[in-house]
Amino acid sequence: MPDAQELESYIRRKFAENVGLTEAELFSEDLTLSTLITRSERMTNSVDLMEAFARTSNGLRKDFGLRVRLPALSLDTPVSKVLAVFMGEVTNPERKSA
Amino acid sequence: MSVLARSLEHEEPPVASPQIVPSEGRPAIMAELYDALTQKGLSLVDITWEQQRLHESRRWSVVEMLSTVDFTHVGEADRHLVWNAGRAELTTKPGADRLERLADVECRRWQEKNPTVAAIMQACGTWSRYWNEEEAHHETAFNRLSTVLRLERISDATFIEFRKVFPDDDMLRTLTLLSISEVVAAVDYGQCSQMVQDPGLRALFKQVAADEVQHMNYFVSFAKALVDSGAYHAKEAFAVAHLFLRDGGELHGSKRERVESRDTHVNWWDQLEHREGFYAPDALRKKEQLIFHALKRITGITVTSREGVEDTWMDLVGC
Protein backbone atom coordinates (compact mmCIF):
# COMPACT_ATOMS: atom_id res chain seq x y z
CA MET A 1 0.00 0.00 0.00
CA PRO A 2 1.56 3.33 -1.03
CA ASP A 3 1.75 6.08 1.58
CA ALA A 4 -0.45 9.17 1.48
CA GLN A 5 2.27 11.40 0.07
CA GLU A 6 2.93 9.01 -2.80
CA LEU A 7 -0.77 8.82 -3.59
CA GLU A 8 -1.18 12.58 -3.47
CA SER A 9 1.68 13.20 -5.88
CA TYR A 10 0.29 10.48 -8.20
CA ILE A 11 -3.19 12.09 -8.20
CA ARG A 12 -1.74 15.57 -8.81
CA ARG A 13 0.37 14.32 -11.72
CA LYS A 14 -2.36 12.20 -13.33
CA PHE A 15 -5.05 14.84 -12.95
CA ALA A 16 -2.80 17.52 -14.50
CA GLU A 17 -2.00 15.17 -17.40
CA ASN A 18 -5.66 14.41 -17.94
CA VAL A 19 -6.80 18.02 -18.00
CA GLY A 20 -3.86 19.09 -20.17
CA LEU A 21 -2.34 21.66 -17.78
CA THR A 22 0.85 21.60 -15.71
CA GLU A 23 0.72 20.77 -12.00
CA ALA A 24 2.05 24.26 -11.29
CA GLU A 25 -0.72 25.95 -13.30
CA LEU A 26 -3.34 23.79 -11.68
CA PHE A 27 -2.37 23.84 -8.03
CA SER A 28 -0.31 26.98 -7.42
CA GLU A 29 -3.28 29.20 -8.28
CA ASP A 30 -5.77 26.71 -6.86
CA LEU A 31 -7.96 27.06 -9.96
CA THR A 32 -11.68 26.50 -9.74
CA LEU A 33 -13.12 23.83 -12.02
CA SER A 34 -14.78 26.43 -14.23
CA THR A 35 -11.46 28.32 -14.69
CA LEU A 36 -9.76 25.03 -15.39
CA ILE A 37 -12.24 24.29 -18.20
CA THR A 38 -11.63 27.75 -19.66
CA ARG A 39 -7.82 27.45 -19.48
CA SER A 40 -7.47 23.91 -20.79
CA GLU A 41 -7.52 23.49 -24.55
CA ARG A 42 -8.71 19.92 -24.04
CA MET A 43 -11.85 20.83 -22.10
CA THR A 44 -15.16 22.03 -23.48
CA ASN A 45 -17.49 21.42 -20.57
CA SER A 46 -18.15 19.49 -17.37
CA VAL A 47 -18.41 16.17 -19.25
CA ASP A 48 -14.73 16.54 -20.22
CA LEU A 49 -13.94 17.32 -16.61
CA MET A 50 -15.83 14.24 -15.44
CA GLU A 51 -13.78 12.20 -17.87
CA ALA A 52 -10.50 13.63 -16.50
CA PHE A 53 -11.62 12.54 -13.01
CA ALA A 54 -12.54 9.10 -14.36
CA ARG A 55 -9.13 8.64 -16.03
CA THR A 56 -7.40 9.59 -12.78
CA SER A 57 -9.59 7.13 -10.85
CA ASN A 58 -8.92 4.41 -13.39
CA GLY A 59 -5.17 5.06 -13.02
CA LEU A 60 -5.46 4.59 -9.25
CA ARG A 61 -7.32 1.36 -9.83
CA LYS A 62 -4.80 0.03 -12.32
CA ASP A 63 -1.62 1.10 -10.50
CA PHE A 64 -2.68 0.72 -6.85
CA GLY A 65 -5.83 -1.40 -6.88
CA LEU A 66 -7.86 1.46 -5.37
CA ARG A 67 -11.42 2.17 -6.43
CA VAL A 68 -12.48 5.79 -6.22
CA ARG A 69 -15.88 7.24 -7.02
CA LEU A 70 -16.22 10.98 -7.03
CA PRO A 71 -19.42 12.86 -6.25
CA ALA A 72 -20.77 15.60 -8.51
CA LEU A 73 -18.70 18.72 -7.77
CA SER A 74 -19.89 22.22 -8.56
CA LEU A 75 -17.87 24.28 -11.01
CA ASP A 76 -16.77 26.77 -8.35
CA THR A 77 -14.96 23.97 -6.47
CA PRO A 78 -11.19 24.72 -6.22
CA VAL A 79 -8.79 21.95 -7.31
CA SER A 80 -7.42 21.73 -3.75
CA LYS A 81 -10.89 20.55 -2.71
CA VAL A 82 -10.94 18.01 -5.56
CA LEU A 83 -7.59 16.70 -4.37
CA ALA A 84 -8.92 16.49 -0.80
CA VAL A 85 -11.97 14.53 -2.01
CA PHE A 86 -9.71 12.12 -3.92
CA MET A 87 -7.47 11.69 -0.87
CA GLY A 88 -10.46 11.17 1.39
CA GLU A 89 -11.68 8.42 -0.93
CA VAL A 90 -8.34 6.58 -1.26
CA THR A 91 -7.64 6.69 2.45
CA ASN A 92 -11.20 5.77 3.44
CA PRO A 93 -11.17 2.26 4.91
CA GLU A 94 -14.85 1.85 3.99
CA ARG A 95 -14.23 2.23 0.27
CA LYS A 96 -14.50 -0.77 -1.98
CA SER A 97 -11.32 -2.34 -3.32
CA ALA A 98 -10.93 -2.61 -7.06
CA MET B 1 -32.06 9.18 -91.67
CA SER B 2 -35.78 9.27 -91.54
CA VAL B 3 -37.65 11.51 -89.16
CA LEU B 4 -38.98 8.40 -87.41
CA ALA B 5 -35.50 6.91 -86.86
CA ARG B 6 -34.23 10.22 -85.49
CA SER B 7 -37.08 10.53 -83.06
CA LEU B 8 -36.47 6.99 -81.80
CA GLU B 9 -32.77 7.71 -81.36
CA HIS B 10 -33.56 10.61 -79.08
CA GLU B 11 -36.32 8.88 -77.25
CA GLU B 12 -36.09 9.38 -73.51
CA PRO B 13 -36.33 6.44 -71.10
CA PRO B 14 -39.89 5.75 -69.99
CA VAL B 15 -41.05 7.66 -66.90
CA ALA B 16 -42.60 5.60 -64.12
CA SER B 17 -46.28 6.28 -63.94
CA PRO B 18 -47.65 7.21 -60.49
CA GLN B 19 -49.57 3.92 -60.43
CA ILE B 20 -46.41 1.82 -60.06
CA VAL B 21 -45.04 3.67 -56.98
CA PRO B 22 -45.04 1.00 -54.25
CA SER B 23 -47.57 1.54 -51.52
CA GLU B 24 -46.06 3.03 -48.39
CA GLY B 25 -46.71 1.60 -44.97
CA ARG B 26 -47.49 3.51 -41.84
CA PRO B 27 -44.96 6.34 -41.39
CA ALA B 28 -42.33 5.53 -38.77
CA ILE B 29 -38.96 6.64 -37.46
CA MET B 30 -36.07 4.81 -39.11
CA ALA B 31 -34.62 2.94 -36.18
CA GLU B 32 -31.80 1.57 -38.36
CA LEU B 33 -30.71 4.73 -40.12
CA TYR B 34 -27.12 3.67 -40.78
CA ASP B 35 -28.35 0.45 -42.38
CA ALA B 36 -30.91 2.41 -44.43
CA LEU B 37 -28.15 4.64 -45.83
CA THR B 38 -25.55 1.93 -46.45
CA GLN B 39 -27.30 -1.42 -47.07
CA LYS B 40 -30.62 -0.21 -48.43
CA GLY B 41 -29.08 2.71 -50.33
CA LEU B 42 -31.69 5.26 -49.27
CA SER B 43 -30.94 8.86 -50.20
CA LEU B 44 -31.50 11.99 -48.15
CA VAL B 45 -34.54 12.70 -50.32
CA ASP B 46 -36.00 9.30 -49.31
CA ILE B 47 -35.26 9.89 -45.63
CA THR B 48 -36.69 13.40 -45.71
CA TRP B 49 -39.90 12.02 -47.27
CA GLU B 50 -40.26 9.59 -44.37
CA GLN B 51 -39.73 12.44 -41.91
CA GLN B 52 -42.35 14.53 -43.69
CA ARG B 53 -44.89 11.67 -43.74
CA LEU B 54 -44.48 11.05 -40.03
CA HIS B 55 -44.65 14.74 -39.20
CA GLU B 56 -47.85 15.20 -41.21
CA SER B 57 -49.44 12.15 -39.65
CA ARG B 58 -48.83 13.60 -36.18
CA ARG B 59 -49.82 17.23 -36.71
CA TRP B 60 -52.36 18.77 -34.38
CA SER B 61 -53.76 22.21 -33.77
CA VAL B 62 -52.99 24.22 -30.64
CA VAL B 63 -56.01 26.43 -31.24
CA GLU B 64 -58.34 23.43 -31.45
CA MET B 65 -56.72 21.71 -28.47
CA LEU B 66 -57.07 24.81 -26.28
CA SER B 67 -60.70 25.20 -27.27
CA THR B 68 -61.42 21.95 -25.43
CA VAL B 69 -60.03 23.17 -22.10
CA ASP B 70 -62.58 24.33 -19.58
CA PHE B 71 -60.72 27.13 -17.83
CA THR B 72 -63.08 27.11 -14.87
CA HIS B 73 -62.03 23.52 -14.23
CA VAL B 74 -58.30 24.22 -13.88
CA GLY B 75 -57.41 24.24 -10.19
CA GLU B 76 -54.47 25.92 -8.48
CA ALA B 77 -52.16 22.88 -8.61
CA ASP B 78 -52.92 22.23 -12.29
CA ARG B 79 -52.29 25.89 -13.10
CA HIS B 80 -48.84 25.58 -11.58
CA LEU B 81 -48.06 22.60 -13.83
CA VAL B 82 -49.15 24.60 -16.87
CA TRP B 83 -47.02 27.60 -15.87
CA ASN B 84 -43.88 25.48 -15.34
CA ALA B 85 -44.42 23.69 -18.66
CA GLY B 86 -44.77 26.94 -20.62
CA ARG B 87 -41.61 28.41 -19.11
CA ALA B 88 -39.62 25.21 -19.65
CA GLU B 89 -40.70 24.94 -23.29
CA LEU B 90 -39.12 28.34 -24.04
CA THR B 91 -35.73 26.60 -24.08
CA THR B 92 -36.59 24.22 -26.91
CA LYS B 93 -36.32 26.73 -29.77
CA PRO B 94 -32.66 27.54 -29.08
CA GLY B 95 -32.10 23.78 -28.73
CA ALA B 96 -33.51 23.08 -32.17
CA ASP B 97 -31.85 26.11 -33.78
CA ARG B 98 -28.53 25.00 -32.39
CA LEU B 99 -29.03 21.40 -33.52
CA GLU B 100 -29.74 22.53 -37.07
CA ARG B 101 -26.58 24.67 -37.17
CA LEU B 102 -24.33 22.09 -35.45
CA ALA B 103 -25.59 19.26 -37.66
CA ASP B 104 -24.83 21.24 -40.80
CA VAL B 105 -21.33 22.18 -39.59
CA GLU B 106 -20.67 18.52 -38.70
CA CYS B 107 -22.10 17.39 -42.05
CA ARG B 108 -19.60 19.52 -43.94
CA ARG B 109 -16.76 18.44 -41.66
CA TRP B 110 -17.47 14.78 -42.47
CA GLN B 111 -18.43 15.13 -46.14
CA GLU B 112 -15.03 14.21 -47.63
CA LYS B 113 -13.95 11.81 -44.89
CA ASN B 114 -17.14 9.80 -44.42
CA PRO B 115 -20.16 10.61 -46.63
CA THR B 116 -22.44 8.30 -44.60
CA VAL B 117 -21.77 10.21 -41.38
CA ALA B 118 -22.29 13.44 -43.34
CA ALA B 119 -25.68 12.10 -44.49
CA ILE B 120 -26.66 11.15 -40.92
CA MET B 121 -25.80 14.69 -39.79
CA GLN B 122 -27.80 16.23 -42.63
CA ALA B 123 -30.78 13.95 -41.92
CA CYS B 124 -30.65 15.09 -38.29
CA GLY B 125 -30.36 18.78 -39.22
CA THR B 126 -33.24 18.41 -41.66
CA TRP B 127 -35.45 16.77 -39.06
CA SER B 128 -34.71 19.60 -36.60
CA ARG B 129 -37.23 21.76 -38.52
CA TYR B 130 -40.04 19.36 -37.55
CA TRP B 131 -38.77 19.19 -33.98
CA ASN B 132 -38.71 22.98 -33.80
CA GLU B 133 -42.24 23.26 -35.19
CA GLU B 134 -43.62 20.63 -32.81
CA GLU B 135 -41.95 22.24 -29.81
CA ALA B 136 -43.46 25.57 -30.89
CA HIS B 137 -46.86 23.91 -30.40
CA HIS B 138 -45.94 22.94 -26.85
CA GLU B 139 -44.49 26.33 -25.93
CA THR B 140 -47.38 28.38 -27.29
CA ALA B 141 -50.07 26.02 -25.97
CA PHE B 142 -48.88 26.17 -22.36
CA ASN B 143 -47.96 29.86 -22.42
CA ARG B 144 -51.28 30.82 -24.00
CA LEU B 145 -53.05 28.87 -21.25
CA SER B 146 -50.97 30.71 -18.64
CA THR B 147 -52.00 34.03 -20.17
CA VAL B 148 -55.69 33.17 -20.33
CA LEU B 149 -55.61 31.82 -16.78
CA ARG B 150 -53.84 35.04 -15.65
CA LEU B 151 -50.91 33.17 -14.13
CA GLU B 152 -47.66 34.89 -13.19
CA ARG B 153 -46.49 36.73 -16.27
CA ILE B 154 -43.30 35.56 -17.97
CA SER B 155 -41.28 38.71 -18.49
CA ASP B 156 -39.53 39.51 -21.74
CA ALA B 157 -36.25 39.34 -19.81
CA THR B 158 -37.00 35.73 -18.80
CA PHE B 159 -38.14 34.91 -22.33
CA ILE B 160 -34.85 36.23 -23.74
CA GLU B 161 -32.82 34.52 -21.00
CA PHE B 162 -34.45 31.15 -21.75
CA ARG B 163 -33.67 31.58 -25.47
CA LYS B 164 -29.91 31.44 -24.83
CA VAL B 165 -28.25 28.87 -27.05
CA PHE B 166 -26.57 25.87 -25.46
CA PRO B 167 -22.82 25.75 -26.31
CA ASP B 168 -21.65 23.25 -28.93
CA ASP B 169 -20.34 19.84 -28.00
CA ASP B 170 -19.57 16.45 -29.54
CA MET B 171 -22.59 15.38 -31.63
CA LEU B 172 -23.10 12.01 -29.91
CA ARG B 173 -23.07 13.70 -26.51
CA THR B 174 -25.52 16.30 -27.82
CA LEU B 175 -27.94 13.70 -29.20
CA THR B 176 -27.76 11.59 -26.04
CA LEU B 177 -28.42 14.65 -23.89
CA LEU B 178 -31.40 15.56 -26.05
CA SER B 179 -32.71 11.96 -25.85
CA ILE B 180 -32.53 12.10 -22.06
CA SER B 181 -34.09 15.56 -21.94
CA GLU B 182 -37.03 14.17 -23.95
CA VAL B 183 -37.26 11.14 -21.63
CA VAL B 184 -37.57 13.43 -18.62
CA ALA B 185 -40.08 15.69 -20.36
CA ALA B 186 -42.19 12.75 -21.60
CA VAL B 187 -42.38 11.16 -18.15
CA ASP B 188 -43.18 14.49 -16.49
CA TYR B 189 -45.95 15.33 -18.96
CA GLY B 190 -47.30 11.79 -18.71
CA GLN B 191 -47.53 12.23 -14.95
CA CYS B 192 -49.17 15.63 -15.38
CA SER B 193 -51.80 14.10 -17.68
CA GLN B 194 -52.73 11.69 -14.91
CA MET B 195 -52.90 14.36 -12.25
CA VAL B 196 -54.88 17.18 -13.85
CA GLN B 197 -58.67 17.34 -13.50
CA ASP B 198 -59.88 18.94 -16.70
CA PRO B 199 -60.26 16.46 -19.61
CA GLY B 200 -59.12 19.05 -22.20
CA LEU B 201 -55.98 19.84 -20.24
CA ARG B 202 -55.39 16.13 -19.70
CA ALA B 203 -55.55 15.59 -23.46
CA LEU B 204 -53.06 18.41 -24.03
CA PHE B 205 -50.51 16.97 -21.58
CA LYS B 206 -51.02 13.52 -23.11
CA GLN B 207 -50.47 14.82 -26.64
CA VAL B 208 -47.31 16.70 -25.64
CA ALA B 209 -45.97 13.63 -23.81
CA ALA B 210 -46.54 11.53 -26.95
CA ASP B 211 -44.67 14.14 -29.04
CA GLU B 212 -41.73 14.02 -26.62
CA VAL B 213 -41.58 10.23 -26.87
CA GLN B 214 -41.42 10.58 -30.64
CA HIS B 215 -38.60 13.15 -30.34
CA MET B 216 -36.71 10.85 -27.99
CA ASN B 217 -36.99 8.04 -30.54
CA TYR B 218 -35.62 10.30 -33.27
CA PHE B 219 -32.63 11.37 -31.15
CA VAL B 220 -31.92 7.74 -30.27
CA SER B 221 -32.07 6.81 -33.96
CA PHE B 222 -29.57 9.52 -34.98
CA ALA B 223 -27.27 8.71 -32.04
CA LYS B 224 -27.39 4.97 -32.85
CA ALA B 225 -26.53 5.70 -36.49
CA LEU B 226 -23.44 7.64 -35.38
CA VAL B 227 -22.31 4.74 -33.17
CA ASP B 228 -23.12 2.20 -35.92
CA SER B 229 -20.94 4.19 -38.33
CA GLY B 230 -17.92 3.53 -36.11
CA ALA B 231 -17.04 7.23 -36.19
CA TYR B 232 -18.41 7.89 -32.68
CA HIS B 233 -17.59 6.08 -29.48
CA ALA B 234 -20.22 4.69 -27.08
CA LYS B 235 -18.25 6.30 -24.24
CA GLU B 236 -19.77 9.69 -25.04
CA ALA B 237 -23.33 8.39 -24.70
CA PHE B 238 -22.50 6.80 -21.35
CA ALA B 239 -20.76 9.98 -20.13
CA VAL B 240 -23.93 12.00 -20.63
CA ALA B 241 -26.10 9.32 -19.03
CA HIS B 242 -23.77 9.31 -16.01
CA LEU B 243 -23.99 13.12 -15.85
CA PHE B 244 -27.75 12.72 -15.34
CA LEU B 245 -27.81 9.59 -13.21
CA ARG B 246 -24.97 10.15 -10.74
CA ASP B 247 -25.64 11.31 -7.17
CA GLY B 248 -26.63 14.95 -7.40
CA GLY B 249 -26.89 14.57 -11.17
CA GLU B 250 -29.02 16.45 -13.70
CA LEU B 251 -31.93 14.01 -13.38
CA HIS B 252 -32.82 15.63 -10.05
CA GLY B 253 -33.17 19.00 -11.79
CA SER B 254 -34.13 21.91 -9.59
CA LYS B 255 -34.76 19.58 -6.63
CA ARG B 256 -31.00 19.26 -6.18
CA GLU B 257 -29.46 20.89 -3.13
CA ARG B 258 -27.38 22.99 -5.45
CA VAL B 259 -28.02 23.88 -9.08
CA GLU B 260 -25.08 25.08 -11.12
CA SER B 261 -25.38 28.76 -11.97
CA ARG B 262 -24.53 29.35 -15.62
CA ASP B 263 -24.58 32.46 -17.74
CA THR B 264 -24.20 30.55 -21.01
CA HIS B 265 -27.57 28.80 -21.34
CA VAL B 266 -30.64 27.55 -19.46
CA ASN B 267 -31.35 23.89 -18.76
CA TRP B 268 -35.12 23.68 -18.39
CA TRP B 269 -34.94 20.96 -15.73
CA ASP B 270 -32.98 23.35 -13.50
CA GLN B 271 -35.67 26.02 -13.71
CA LEU B 272 -38.83 24.18 -12.64
CA GLU B 273 -40.30 25.86 -9.59
CA HIS B 274 -41.66 23.58 -6.91
CA ARG B 275 -44.18 25.05 -4.55
CA GLU B 276 -44.98 23.76 -1.11
CA GLY B 277 -48.03 21.50 -1.10
CA PHE B 278 -48.27 21.26 -4.91
CA TYR B 279 -47.74 18.09 -6.87
CA ALA B 280 -44.47 17.97 -8.86
CA PRO B 281 -43.76 15.16 -11.33
CA ASP B 282 -40.81 12.94 -10.43
CA ALA B 283 -40.91 9.19 -11.25
CA LEU B 284 -37.13 8.83 -11.04
CA ARG B 285 -37.20 5.05 -11.40
CA LYS B 286 -39.20 5.23 -14.61
CA LYS B 287 -36.83 7.85 -16.04
CA GLU B 288 -33.82 5.71 -15.12
CA GLN B 289 -35.32 2.67 -16.84
CA LEU B 290 -35.99 4.64 -20.01
CA ILE B 291 -32.43 6.01 -19.99
CA PHE B 292 -31.02 2.47 -19.65
CA HIS B 293 -33.20 1.44 -22.58
CA ALA B 294 -32.05 4.40 -24.69
CA LEU B 295 -28.41 3.52 -23.96
CA LYS B 296 -29.05 -0.06 -25.05
CA ARG B 297 -30.59 1.14 -28.32
CA ILE B 298 -27.82 3.67 -29.00
CA THR B 299 -24.79 1.57 -28.07
CA GLY B 300 -26.01 -2.04 -27.90
CA ILE B 301 -24.69 -2.22 -24.31
CA THR B 302 -27.09 -3.41 -21.61
CA VAL B 303 -27.11 -1.68 -18.22
CA THR B 304 -29.66 -2.11 -15.47
CA SER B 305 -28.54 0.26 -12.72
CA ARG B 306 -26.99 3.68 -12.15
CA GLU B 307 -23.85 1.97 -10.86
CA GLY B 308 -23.79 -0.13 -14.02
CA VAL B 309 -23.83 3.04 -16.12
CA GLU B 310 -20.92 4.48 -14.13
CA ASP B 311 -18.89 1.25 -14.27
CA THR B 312 -19.44 0.85 -18.01
CA TRP B 313 -18.56 4.47 -18.67
CA MET B 314 -15.36 4.22 -16.59
CA ASP B 315 -14.34 1.06 -18.43
CA LEU B 316 -14.95 2.77 -21.77
CA VAL B 317 -12.92 5.82 -20.66
CA GLY B 318 -9.84 3.80 -19.71
CA CYS B 319 -6.73 5.35 -18.11
Where does the pLDDT of residue B270 fall: very low under 50, low under 70, confident under 90, or very high at 90 and above? confident
B179-210 per-position pLDDT tens digit: 999 999 999 999 999 999 999 999 999 999 99
Tell me, what's the pLDDT at B183? 97
CB contact (8 A) between residue B247 and residue A50: no
A75-88 per-position pLDDT tens digit: 999 999 999 999 99
Which chain B positions have a beta carbon within 8 Å of A75's beta carbon? 260
Three-state DSSP state, A66: strand
Nearest CA in chain A to B170: A44
DSSP string covering B231-286: SS-HHHHHHHHHHHHSTT-GGGGGGSS-----SS---GGGSPPP-TTS-----HHH
CB contact (8 A) between residue A47 and residue B246: no
The per-residue pLDDT of chain B, averaged, comes to 92
Q: What is the mean pLDDT of residues A1-16?
A: 92
B310 to chain A, any CB pair closer than 8 A? The answer is yes
Percent of chain B with pLDDT over 90: 81
CB contact (8 A) between residue B246 and residue A72: yes
Measure the CA–CA gap between B163 and B91, rounded to whole angstroms.
6
**Is position A36 within any domain?**
yes
B263 to chain A, any CB pair closer than 8 A? The answer is no
CB contact (8 A) between residue A51 and residue B240: no
Nearest-CA neighbor of A50 among A60, A58, A39? Answer: A58
Nearest-CA neighbor of B226 among B104, B112, B114, B318? Answer: B114
Tell me, what's the pLDDT at B277? 80
Where does the pLDDT of residue A97 fall: very low under 50, low under 70, confident under 90, or very high at 90 and above? low
Where does the pLDDT of residue B2 fall: very low under 50, low under 70, confident under 90, or very high at 90 and above? very low
Where does the pLDDT of residue B7 fall: very low under 50, low under 70, confident under 90, or very high at 90 and above? very low
Percent of chain A with pLDDT over 90: 77
**Is position A70 within any domain?**
yes
Which chain A positions have a beta carbon within 8 Å of B243's beta carbon? 46-47, 50
Quick check: B28 pLDDT over 80? yes
Tell me, what's the pLDDT at B55? 97
CB contact (8 A) between residue A74 and residue B314: no
B296/B267: higher pLDDT = B296
Measure the CA–CA gap between B145 and B65, rounded to whole angstroms.
11
Quick check: B20 pLDDT over 60? no
CB contact (8 A) between residue A50 and residue B248: no
Tell me, what's the pLDDT at A21? 95
**Is position A22 within any domain?**
yes
Distance between alpha carbon A38 and the CA centroid of its chain, in Å? 17
The total number of structural domains in chain A stands at: 1
Which residues have CB under 8 Å from B289's CB, separation 6+? none
Quick check: B85 pLDDT over 90? yes
A97/B210: higher pLDDT = B210
**Is position B71 within any domain?**
yes
Tell me, what's the pLDDT at B254? 84
CATH number at residue B43: 1.20.1260
B260 to chain A, any CB pair closer than 8 A? The answer is yes
The per-residue pLDDT of chain A, averaged, comes to 90
B242 to chain A, any CB pair closer than 8 A? The answer is yes
**Is position B270 within any domain?**
no
CB contact (8 A) between residue B319 and residue A55: yes
**Is position A96 within any domain?**
no
Q: What is the mean pLDDT of residues B164-175?
A: 94
Tell me, what's the pLDDT at B166? 87
B33-56 per-position pLDDT tens digit: 999 999 999 999 999 999 999 999
The residue segments making up the domain with residue A46 are 4-90
B229-262 per-position pLDDT tens digit: 999 999 999 999 999 999 989 998 888 877 777 7
B94-126 per-position pLDDT tens digit: 999 999 999 999 999 999 999 999 999 999 999
Nearest-CA neighbor of B129 among B51, B21, B24? Answer: B51
Which residues face A78 on adjacent strands?
A: A32
DSSP annotation of B75? -
The total number of structural domains in chain B stands at: 1
B123/B272: higher pLDDT = B123
The residue segments making up the domain with residue B117 are 29-232
Tell me, what's the pLDDT at B260? 79
